[in-house]
Amino acid sequence: MKIALFPGSFDPITLGHYDIIKRGVHLFDKIIIAIGVNSEKKYMFSLEERKRFIEEAFANEPKVEVTTYEGLTIDFCKKVGAKFILRGLRNPADFEFEKAIAHTNRQLSKIETVFLLTAAKTSFISSSIVRDVLRNGGDYTILVPDSVRVK
């Protein structure tokens, strides 16, 4: 079984993440969306909210599972039997950053990283942009799946 781990903080999940996952389900038997827990980081949304946003977005996709984890991504991959890490690339800066992580992960394990380019229509979206739009009262709904709703 080809299992891929799609790690991130997903604060919140964006249409870019959603696109990568929807395309990834055609490549893998299972995608585990793994929300990393970092006690040093300040999040806009609680871990429970972020998990709920993702679970609701993929409620009708049986090949997608959502979980949380702490520690090294490669250690979590081993724990859940994932042989691949799925990552999305929006631009050259993403590529350089992700390339360094992929090389490190490959040195430390046998886990391969698979990169998908984001769709042109979502390539400008990042969670930090969504948070900025939210903080300033803008229409964030055009940047995220329908499951992400702020009261």
Is-cis flag, bond preceding 62, omega within 30? no
> What is the distance between the alpha carbons of residues 112 and 85, in angstroms, rounded to a whole number?
6
Task: Tell me whether residue 10 is annotated as binding.
Answer: yes
Active site amino acids: 17, 41, 90, 127
Strands 30-36 and 112-117: unpaired
Determine phi and psi for 37, rounding to 5 degrees. Answer: -105, 120
Q: Does 125 count as an annotated binding residue?
A: yes
141 is in an annotated binding site: no
| Amino acid making up residue 50 | R
Report which of 133, 117, 113 is spatially closest to residue 16, judged by C-alpha positions: 117
135 labelled ligand-binding: no
Residue 126 labeled ligand binder: yes
Is 124 known to sit in a ligand binding site? yes
Binding site per annotation, positions for substrate: 9, 41, 73, 87
Binding site per annotation, positions: 9-10, 17, 41, 73, 87-90, 98, 122-128
